[in-house]
Structure 1
Amino acid sequence: MFVERQSRRVSVFLSKEILTLLVGVFSTADPQTDMAAASNLLSEDQFLCSICLDVFTDPVTTPCGHNFCKKCITEHWNVSDRCQCPMCKEVFTTRPDLRVNTFISEMVSQFRQSAQQKASSSSSEQQESKPGEVPCDVCTGTKLKALKSCLVCLESYCETHLERHLTRPGLKRHQLMDPVENLEDRMCTKHDKPLELFCRTDQTCVCMLCTVVDHKMHNVVPLKEEYEGKKVELEKTETELQEMIQKRRLKIQEVKHKVELSEEDADREKAEGVQVFTHLKESVERKLNELINTIEEKQRTTKKQAEDSIRELEQEISELMKRSTEVEKLSLSEDHLHLLQSVQALNIHHPPPTKDWSEVSVPPASYEGTVVRAVSQLEETLSEKMKTLVAEVKMKRVQKFAVDVTLDPKTAHPQLILSADGKQVKLGDVKKNLPNNPQRFSHVFVLAKQSFSSGRFYFEVQVKEKTNWFLGVTRESINRKGLITPRPQNGNWTICLTNRNEYQALDYSPVVLSLKSGPQKVGVFVDYEEGLVSFYDVEAAALIFSFTGCSFKDKLLPFLGPGFNDGGMNSSPLIISPVNQTP
């Protein structure tokens, strides 16, 4: 046994001598430089304790020649049932007397110093941790920004201190993640073990010990598996949220657009209101001026009558005063002959001719009822004016939705003649030989090429010099063969002129239209969403008829029928006219 121990001591001594020789190979005048050169030849793995996997602290050598931290090997033997080398498993009958290997301790010290210098040099190139960033837990002094956090060590590392986890086999198995704070929150508070599992039963993170104690028989999966599942759910939720966000953004745009349209409508309404009330104001002012002129004319007539009477009275007074003066003068005369002769000459018994004013009077001008009649006339005028102005406003409003309409020859009855531009249609004398396609009418009707399935549209058709015509809109799927009865129940909303002067709205039951005069041009307005079809006398700016409460579920197309020739009296064409949108 003594010889064995001696040989082992020699082995340790030779190992020390070999290291010394290695250092001597690169020796210089500076011992610190010598040790630095030696440390450069050695890697960190050569200074790691195989028990704590860290750089030696107070390194000691066992009789078998392996090195450990003094504390590590001591604690290992304290808990072990026998004394043996953790590396080669050699058993010692008695616990060896361990002393610190001063040579290895010096080498470790030099290695630590070199590593610190290297770390210090590297740290100057790395980024210092800023507020809100995770700092390195190993750095002393200035804390550098952590690149990764270890879920096993529960520490965060900068680039320098992370190197061991990337190079050491034992540390490579540790789970690294992007740096996070409060790594202690990732430990089970009950068992002080990493939370590396997820209990789906209780929807909570657990450690390995939890699965055999509190969560036994529960559905437990690795965190990564649950993470992947939750990530898929979150991505789906994120997609749904983005869709919801997009819908709401579109709704915001829609609302903003509605507001813009509302502002435009408000501006248009104000302009139209100003125009209407300006006209009404002008009418009122005109009637007021007429009233004032009437009253003033009456007053002038009365005044003239009075002035004429006063002038005549003053003339008579002048004559009478002249006679009075003569009589008075004569009465003062003492000459008997002269007085008698003068009286005879004056003919005093017959005064100058005068008018009997007892029955003459100048009555005051009568204004009673003048204002009432004027107001009554104004009311009638305003009523008619308002009807006209409102009708004009409505016409302008629907004319803003004017669309370009052209007739489709594929739908026209073979006897109809269409103009080259598709704007006119009339009945010809000869039925043309055309393909009887499904779109073509078997009655003298024709459709436009344009169809509408939403919104509002308006077009005008000249019906001048015609004694028979049909005009309106129809759904695209209307039956075009055989007997055709234009009615809403058949998908058609039409008005017509028959028998030269009989106007009808072809409702569910035909409605006779009483018109003051026959329209020369008819406007057709459709509001798809409101279910409204209205017909207007364009020149009179008057509503002819409206179909309301309609239910449109199909495309709508303009529908025209020029009617039969009526002995040549109805030979004029129906003409789709451009809409004159007066300002």
Structure 2
Amino acid sequence: MASATTSKKMREEATCSICLNLMAEPVSISCGHSYCQACLLRFMGPASSQQSHQHTQTFSCPQCRAPFQRGSLRPNKQLGGLIAALQEQEQELSCQEHGERLHLFCEDEGQLICWRCERDPQHKGHATALVEDAGPGYREKLQEAVRKLRQLEEECANQKAFTAKQIAEWNEKIEARRQKIQADFQSLLSFVRAEERSYLWRLESEEEHTLQRLRDREATLGQQSRELESRILELEERCQGSAQKVLQDVKGALSRSQAVRLEIPEAVSLEIQTECEIPEVYFDLRKRLRSHQVGVTLDPETAHPELILSKDQRQVMRGGCPQGAEDFSPLRFTVSPCILGRQSFTSGRQYFEVDVGEGIGWDVGVCLESVQRFVETMQKPEAGFWALRLCAKDGYVALTWPRTPLGLKEQPLVVGVLLDCEVGVVSFYNVTSGSHIFTFPRASFPDVLRPYFQVYPYSPLFLPSPDQ
């Protein structure tokens, strides 16, 4: 309690009698009393306008009424230091239970206590130390903890910088690979264009050479034709003349006409000699596609009741009679004459072929396993279908929405379907001619994909095995 009393007395001495708060920037006057500088200046009021009277003005001390002049104000640095120490002391924590200063540290409980807490049964027998004595040791421990955290922070920063460097390196590698792919294909395109020009030049040269020979032959025959016409005209004129003109040198004329022979120029072959065999290493499309080929068979549990399957489940045709309700599968298409393949696709590249023959109609492609099978559904990517169609009304179309006419010049007897699950692309090829038909825009596939077929009357579909 003595410490609290002392602090109280010190506070009273350091309190400004004008504002009743601890003095701020204390100043003393000639009688020895001190006040806040701002409070005393307000008490004295504005300084006189006459400079000679500024320091000789007399005022009375607010406490003892002793006279003092404006020029007697002096800063009280010692009192200012005492006030700062008192403010620091007042900022120290106090015990909430006893109101005493927390000047002890309980090692067992790890908390600050006052001298009265030390005597409580709660802390009886506990190891305690003065705050001043316990502080340095724990300060070192805290500094060591900070040091370790700094190390972790530095390691984290290094790892972050390393990861940022990896991101930059990865982006550089990807860009370099992208540029290499583009450069390689540009080189390939340049090579192909050069080869194309070379073959076209050869063809053009052959064209000119053969045309020249044909024109020469035509000119030779024309010359002979004119000569024959001249001789014919000569003999006809002789025949129309008098008997004397007919008989004049008649034997010579007959001899000369009989000596005329038709010289037929050498025949010119119309077989084109310039052959263009596209290098297999670049353009064997079927070989490249078949490196991803999978064997696909039909799933009878999904077949519409009107569809008939072969025993090996590789051929399907339309023409069956609807089965009874007991034969219906919950997986079966019941509205459209459709069927799915057994195989499921979730990743990688998958390729299969469908022999559509010369059928008058078909749908071939892939669909999500979750597509609607029991209600009328428009086949389009938004509904989970990526397929091509042949029908009498529209011909060949891609089942986008709206439909995309394909305008194929060659009838595909075998259609190849390439699914790239990673890229999200479905492409179709005419295996018969080795040409690309159509590629759907990139998409994300939210579900498993399966081969999809719709069967039309008199248009069976056949799935050849990869070995065929």
**TM category, shorter:** 0.3 to 0.5
The structure having more radius of gyration, on CA atoms, is 1
Structure-1-length-normalised TM-score = 0.39
Structure-2-length-normalised TM-score = 0.47
